[in-house]
Amino acid sequence: MPRIVSVGTAVPEHTLMQEEAREFARELFRDTFSDIDRYLPIFENSTIQTRRLARPREWFEEERPFSERNDAYTETACHLGELALERCLAAAGVTAQEIDHLFFVSTSGIATPSIDARLVHRLDFSCHVKRTPIWGLGCAGGAVGLARAYEYARAFPESRVMLLAVELCSLTFRRGDRTKSNLVATSLFADGAAAVLMIGDQVPLGREVIHCPQIIDTLSTTWPDSLDVMGWEVDNDGLRVVFSRDIPTLVRREVRPAVEGFLSRSGLEIDRLDRVIAHPGGMKVLSAYEETLGLAPDILGLSRSVLGEYGNMSSVTVLFVLEKELGQEHQEGNYGLLTALGPGFSSEMMLLQW
């Protein structure tokens, strides 16, 4: 089975403290919500302490046209993407010329040529490298991108495959959007990039690679009548966030049957999971995972750590959790579940074994 070899991550230089974000939101939304102080505890309850932004906070105090925000997306996505790819390649001791296929995932900006095309020659990839840009997967994108990379590496076992995910959620912010969804988004979302290297069975293994996790199985699920749970609506001035308060309820109702059915394909039950690498969409979502799956409180510790330090970086976040997981000690035979939820309303799951 294909193996995950290394992860490289990158974040912008501008740090936003959560208290600063809270006061920014108070000033922006107080004329819309007369009881604004009733909503502001979402900033503390998120347990987020810091986030990284593509531009300094002062940049967001003025209304920016969609074209300017999208130009900033292209510029920053190329910069962070390059850093993440370089760090991932260096960690594995592999050159860009050795990569056979590059998958790119993003939902927070638009670029044609796509970001992956712009990076091919900046990092000296082969001019014949295959590229697959994927747009619109939202928070599930990191897990979905891994699944598509796994399928390619399984079909072409001599190949080295890279996934790059870049999200600049802050650049979708629109001052004129005074909805509760935008207020919630202001308390959660952030920017970052992550790259993952995966190899097929016929790629020679170094001693360090033998201890990297194999991918055993993947499963995609899209639930009916759920298109309005999460996503974007396209307005004249950009992308308007859609964010339902029902997400934790859906997790409690839908996730356990999906996980049980997925694990049963490999003859496993939930109590066989040693690790859960979950996209931290928010504290309520993580708590819903614990409740519905009966997880020990510490099993999502890495997800909580990433959420607190970086916020919700959409598709990128679960790959930050994966990077931390790869740095932990594992016993041979340990099982891990990597999972993320996204627009659709959808789920992507991946079963790992060390």
Q: Active-site residues: which are they?
A: 139
**How many whole angstroms separate alpha carbon 198 and alpha carbon 304?**
25
Residues 6+ apart with CB under 8 A from 249: 288
Number of Cβ within 10 Å of residue 71's Cβ equals 15
Q: How far is CA 171 from CA 38, 52, 212, 213, 276, in A?
A: 26, 12, 35, 34, 30
How far apart are the two ends of the chain, measured CA to CA in Å? 11
Residues 6+ apart with CB under 8 A from 24: 57, 60, 186
Number of Cβ within 10 Å of residue 15's Cβ equals 14
Q: Are 221 and 347 in contact (CB under 8 A)?
A: yes
User: At residue 347, what are phi and psi to the nearest 5 degrees?
Assistant: -135, 145
SS3 label, residue 294? coil
Q: Are 230 and 246 in contact (CB under 8 A)?
A: no
User: At residue 236, what are phi and psi to the nearest 5 degrees?
Assistant: -60, -30
**How many whole angstroms separate alpha carbon 232 and alpha carbon 141?**
14
Q: Are 266 and 329 in contact (CB under 8 A)?
A: no
Joined together, the tokens standing for residue 314 give 């959409």
Give me the DSSP letters along 102-133. Answer: EEEEESS---SS-HHHHHHTTTT--TT-EEEE
**How many whole angstroms separate alpha carbon 141 and alpha carbon 104?**
10
Tokens 């102080």 correspond to 37
